[in-house]
Structure 1
Amino acid sequence: MSVSVQITQSLGGFTLDAGFEGEGGVTALFGPSGCGKTSVINAIAGLSRPDAGHIRVGGHVLFDSSKGIFVPPHKRRIGYVFQEPRLFPHMSVLENIEYGRPMQSHSTPMDGGLAALGIDHLMERRPRDLSGGEAQRVAIARAIMSQPKVLLMDEPLAALDDARKSEFLPYLQALVARTSIPVFYVSHAMAEVAQLADHLVVMRDGRVVRSGPLAQILSDPAAVADIGVREAGAILNVTVARSDAGDGLSELSCGAGRLYLPKVQASDGETLRVRIRASDVMLSKDKPDGLSALNILPCSVTQLHEGHGPGVAVALRSGSVDLMARVTRRSARAMGLRAGLNCYAVIKSVSVAPTDMGGRGST
């Protein structure tokens, strides 16, 4: 389902001027706090009215200033999940979920999505008896019970600690895989975005500075300044060759060859996403010998981008996979790095965190 957003809005001392296109799946709005992410999805929900522009979802026009169209929120069929679950404390889980059902509707076309959330055993509990992750899953169930055309999520994991986030993400991934609802996911945490998103919209100071396929933007050396030097890198689709390769490692297969990374919670044959940060990739002109690193991939340099600081972002191609490394300008010059140069990418197994592995790999 195609999505088109092009809006401008004056919000006190802040001006929102954002535009992007999407083709369904999960569109992540990423950027620092106060950059306008939530303002965009509030406009999509109809909670605020832009000064000019349009918002179109599929064949439905939700807003068009040139034609005087503004569909009120209750007619947009938008599901909205906030940072806090906002459950009714006097209702059971089942009653909270049923509250989202449209009037005169007795069907539940989203049963597949509900099942993915793993909350069947919670139906008789009250919100006070739920963990933070459980409560947020109930909030999502209530949102999808309304049979929305679009699902908006405003930092739904912000209130969870790292352990609860790790528990929650697989449910969210399963929900996305089982439904065809376009999702707009607001976050400033790239670990979440890398596991969930198909399309990435990077915002800064009320404007969209990058928009496109997630993997393409993350591995673009010119995007490092917008993404952040610690967040830029590559997204690899991998297949689990051996979930337990011994010594706490898994053996993964991808278009660049075999990778040995910390053990994944997945079965042999499953496809996953792995994020390899540019800062975790070392380069060598010759094949290194005697290193402790297990992952040494032959590659060629495709592009270099020098920033304002001491670093150089180096785009690499290994087999059918794009990688990126970040080295100092001094190292780049000493190695004679240039487009077309053959070299080796060195990735330490332990440098890839468990939070960088998972998500929905594509085949």
Structure 2
Amino acid sequence: MSALHCADPDLFSFELHKRMHAARGSQAAHPAFELHVALSLRRGDCLAVLGASGAGKTTLLRLLAGLTPADGGHIHAFGRCWLDGARSLALPTRKRRIGYVFQDYALFPHMSVRGNVRFALRRGAPERLADELLETVGLSALAGRRPAQLSGGQQQRLALARAIAAEPDLLLLDEPLSALDAGLRRSLQDELIALRRRYGLTTLVVTHDPGEAVRLAGRAILLEGGRIVADATPAELFGGRGEALTLGGRVLDVEAGADGPLYRIDADGRTLLARAADGAALAPGSMVTLVAERWTARPVPLTPPQDAAAPRTSPG
């Protein structure tokens, strides 16, 4: 099936429809809904996609990649048509020039580091491109290792190199840094910014971290029930809404408070104070995920999510 040609070679635009069915046994948490998202991006733009679990963020990326079939709509990608429901046109993933970094990286465990990147090269591309990308992401010395022999940060770099090796028109990142600690996440954000600029990558990044969205993206959307309810710059979005937003942090130290210990937390360069509501003890260096009701330039009371592994905190 050949792609139709679309008018604007510098525009990526789409309108997608997908009926989302409730998962068995979880209707209350993730009820059925209709995903309907329409957007346009210019070449080189970076868009952050935010929303609660089950809002449709990952589904949107999978629809764009062709991994999940759309019920209707279109995708016009820089002068080519990837999807046109009216004409029953739907290019397979391999023809869409997509780079995709999954949450779990999805590296090939039986291949070497170099082999993972070479596998993604476009037909006819010189194999030296794989070595150039490994050098760019600092993995040249580890080219012969298997993914299981790499640290989390190294696996993330490998996943990025493999995605870029495909010379993608569109780079899709599904919470690629969520499993890393705050310090490493910040470092890899810097590397991702540099890679995007070097290769001129048009990017969609799913994230729960407002600090990450502010650093990486010039535009952000908030999804609720498969619909866009906010579309602005990240700073505008997080400065004017009241939805809960998550932010990674690290405990710096503990100080005495009138009602118990106060924990000083470094959250993406901002120092915040929080109190453990359940009396749990947090040691300096502990990594926590904070939840803020609102993102502002001033520190706000934050609480970690209700998770057995993360003590709950309340405003100090």
Same fold (TM over 0.5): yes
Going from structure 1 to structure 2, the CA distance change for 1:275 and 1:136 (only over 3 Å counts) comes to closer
Check whether the contact 1:22–1:199 (CA below 8 A) recurs between aligned residues.
Answer: no
> Is the aligned partner of 1:7 residue 2:27?
no
> Which AA in structure 2 matches 1:10?
R
Deviation at 1:176, TM superposition (A): 1.5
1:36 is matched with 56
Check whether the contact 2:48–2:205 (CA below 8 A) recurs between aligned residues.
Answer: yes
Check whether the contact 1:2–1:57 (CA below 8 A) recurs between aligned residues.
Answer: yes
Map 1:1-363 to 2 at 5 A. 1-12=10-21, 13-23=32-42, 24-106=44-126, 115-219=135-239, 221=240, 224-225=241-242, 227-228=243-244
Going from structure 1 to structure 2, the CA distance change for 1:114 and 1:2 (only over 3 Å counts) comes to farther
Going from structure 1 to structure 2, the CA distance change for 1:91 and 1:22 (only over 3 Å counts) comes to same
Structure-1 separation of matches of 2:245 and 2:66: 35
Structure-2 separation of matches of 1:197 and 1:188: 13
Please say which structure displays the higher CA radius of gyration.
1
Structure-2 separation of matches of 1:216 and 1:276: 18
- Cα distance per residue 1:207-264 (max 9 Å; x no partner): 1111233344344x3xx13x54788xxxxxxxxxxxxxxxxxxxxxxxxxxxxxxxxx
Determine helix, strand or coil for the equivalent of 1:90. Answer: coil
Deviation at 1:113, TM superposition (A): 6.2
Going from structure 1 to structure 2, the CA distance change for 1:167 and 1:18 (only over 3 Å counts) comes to same
RMSD: 3.3
Deviation at 1:27, TM superposition (A): 0.9
Structure-2 separation of matches of 1:93 and 1:72: 26
Determine helix, strand or coil for the equivalent of 2:178. Answer: coil
> Which AA in structure 2 matches 1:17?
H
Going from structure 1 to structure 2, the CA distance change for 1:56 and 1:114 (only over 3 Å counts) comes to farther
Q: More strand per residue: 1 or 2? A: 1
- Cα distance per residue 1:306-349 (max 9 Å; x no partner): xxxxx9x9xxxxxxxxx967xxxxxxxxxxxxxxxxxxxxx68x
Deviation at 1:156, TM superposition (A): 0.7
> Which AA in structure 2 matches 1:8?
H
- Cα distance per residue 1:174-218 (max 9 Å; x no partner): 112212121110111112111101111111111111123334434
Structure 1: any 5+ residue segments left out of the alignment?
232-273, 281-310, 314-322, 326-346, 352-363
Structure-2 separation of matches of 1:88 and 1:229: 33
Determine helix, strand or coil for the equivalent of 1:27. Answer: strand
Going from structure 1 to structure 2, the CA distance change for 1:208 and 1:115 (only over 3 Å counts) comes to farther
Deviation at 1:73, TM superposition (A): 1.1
Determine helix, strand or coil for the equivalent of 2:173. Answer: strand
Of stretches 59-68 and 41-50 in structure 1, the one that deviates more from structure 2 is 59-68
Structure-2 separation of matches of 1:83 and 1:108: 28
Check whether the contact 1:155–1:185 (CA below 8 A) recurs between aligned residues.
Answer: yes
Q: TM-score with structure 1 length normalisation? A: 0.59
Structure-1 separation of matches of 2:46 and 2:131: 20
Structure-1 separation of matches of 2:33 and 2:82: 23
Check whether the contact 2:114–2:130 (CA below 8 A) recurs between aligned residues.
Answer: no
Structure-2 separation of matches of 1:86 and 1:72: 19
> Which AA in structure 1 matches 2:59?
S
Structure-1 separation of matches of 2:244 and 2:17: 26
Q: TM-score with structure 2 length normalisation? A: 0.67
Between the two proteins, the alignment pairs up a number of residues equal to 244
Determine helix, strand or coil for the equivalent of 1:159. Answer: coil
Structure 2: any 5+ residue segments left out of the alignment?
1-9, 22-31, 248-267, 274-292, 302-316
Structure-1 separation of matches of 2:129 and 2:238: 35
- Cα distance per residue 1:79-108 (max 9 Å; x no partner): 111011222222221111111112332266
